[in-house]
Amino acid sequence: MPLHIQTPYIRSRAASLRLGKDVFLKLDALQPSGSFKLRGIGAVCEARQAAGARRFVSSSSGNAGIAVAYSGRELGVPVLVVVPESSSARARDRIRFEGAELAVHGASWAEANAYAQSVMGANDAFVHPFDDPGLWPGHATMVDEMAATGPKPDAVVVAVGGGGLLCGVLEGLARNGWGDVPVVATETEGADCYARSLQAGRPIELPAITSIATSLGAKRPSSAAVEWATRHSIEPVVVSDAAAVAACLRFLDEHQLLVEPSCGSALAALETASPVLAAASRIAVIVCGGVTATVEALQDFHRREG
Ligand SMILES: *Cc1c(COP(=O)(O)O)cnc(C)c1O
């Protein structure tokens, strides 16, 4: 039994009417850890336990750290999550809530990560949030479920941070005979390292992340995610933070589910002048979820910037 669950793949009547197209939603916000990350991370944790790991270590204060904490609790393996001082109280609470040991160390993620590496023991397994090929088959299971339960889309819309989710979706499309379905890869302004990398033809590092979509906040995408664009049709779309937040609030209103602005970037991309989406009559959106936003924070941002 995998640690993740099979999630619904539903037609959104609201989005379909608005766009005059068939819009389907893969509702991975419903994973028990609150995001798609449980698919790949759950599978990686199971494999590491089978290989003898006695503890899992993560340096993510976001949905990856929460997914590792969830997986460890379910598997009966202790988890250490090291987060920087800049991490939010909410993120720390969620990690502790899942039963993990939390260590706060360093001013930046790089310092927290260096500390996590320095305390690794012989039987510890480090679980990377996105740059591990072992994550892709797990993430790809969402496309297996889409192919088993719904119609083939003309385009798939998916948010990109470091590119683990994107690589998983592409692997899933390939293994289900959907390799001809173009992918719209979405980011927010200030977290758009993937769009810049596709333009440059190699991974580009951003000097800093300036978007509120913190789950997209890898400064540099994995090279595997950038290489995929040489053999699959991938269109990058970058939206503003304000558009991503507005999309989250509308999604909450229409589908009663709260997702992060990172996921909101995929929902907001539906409203952009994307040539791939303009040519598609059936669109699938990966609703990747995320637990780090609150309704209050989204509404505050929307009132200030929207
Ligand atoms: C991790 C995450 C992403 C980005 O995934 P990558 O594998 O880093 O590209 C997008 N949305 C949410 C909610 C996430 O947790």
Provide the residue ranges of all domains of the chain, joining segments of one domain with +. 9-30+134-304, 38-127
pLDDT for residue 167: 98
Tell me the average pLDDT across 255-281.
98
Atom of ligand 1 nearest to the CA of 289: 13
Do 212 and 272 contact (CB within 8 A), yes or no? no
Rg (alpha carbons) of the chain, rounded to whole number: 18
Interval between CA 91 and ligand 1 midpoint (Å): 15
9-30+134-304 and 38-127 agree in CATH topology: yes
Do 61 and 28 contact (CB within 8 A), yes or no? no
Q: Mutate which of 135, 288, 298 to test ligand 1's pocket (most atoms within 8 Å of Cβ)?
A: 288
Task: Note the pTM of the prediction, 2 decimals.
Answer: 0.97
Whether the predicted pLDDT of 306 surpasses 80: no
Interval between CA 264 and ligand 1 midpoint (Å): 11
pLDDT for residue 107: 87
Ligand 1, atom 13, lies closest to the CA of 290
Interval between CA 31 and ligand 1 midpoint (Å): 14
Q: Which residues' Cβ are closer than 6 Å to ligand 1?
A: 35, 37, 62-63, 130, 159-166, 215-216, 218, 260, 262-263, 288-290
Q: What digits encode the pLDDT tens for the residues 21-60?
A: 999 999 999 999 999 999 999 999 999 999 999 999 999 9
Residue with tokens 């499309």: 173
Indicate the pLDDT class of residue 61, thresholds 50, 70 and 90. Answer: confident
Q: What digits encode the pLDDT tens for the residues 178-227?
A: 999 999 999 999 999 999 999 999 999 999 999 999 999 899 999 999 99
Spatial separation of the C-alpha atoms in residues 111 and 61, rounded to whole Å: 13
To the nearest whole number, what is the mean pLDDT of the chain? 96
User: What is the per-residue DSSP string for the chain?
Assistant: --SS----EEE-HHHHHHHTSEEEEEEGGGSTTSBTHHHHHHHHHHHHHHTT--EEEE--SSHHHHHHHHHHHHHT--EEEEE-TTS-HHHHHHHHHTT-EEEE--SSHHHHHHHHHHT--TTEEE--SS--GGGHHHHHHHHHHHHHHSPPPSEEEEE-SSSHHHHHHHHHHHHTT-TTS-EEEEEETTS-HHHHHHHHTS----S---SS-GGG--SS--HHHHHHTTTS-EEEEEE-HHHHHHHHHHHHHHHS----HHHHHHHHHTTS--HHHHH-SEEEEEE-B-SS--HHHHHHHHHHH-
User: Is beta strand 22-27 parallel, antiparallel or unpaired with respect to 9-11?
Assistant: antiparallel
Query: CATH classification of 38-127 is 3.40.50.1100, yes or no?
Result: yes
Q: What digits encode the pLDDT tens for the residues 82-135?
A: 999 988 899 899 999 999 999 999 988 889 999 999 999 999 999 999 999 999
Q: Which fold has domain 9-30+134-304?
A: Rossmann fold (3.40.50)
Whether the predicted pLDDT of 16 surpasses 90: yes
Ligand 1, atom 4, lies closest to the CA of 161
Cα–chain center distance at 39 = 11
Whether the predicted pLDDT of 268 surpasses 90: yes
Interval between CA 198 and ligand 1 midpoint (Å): 18
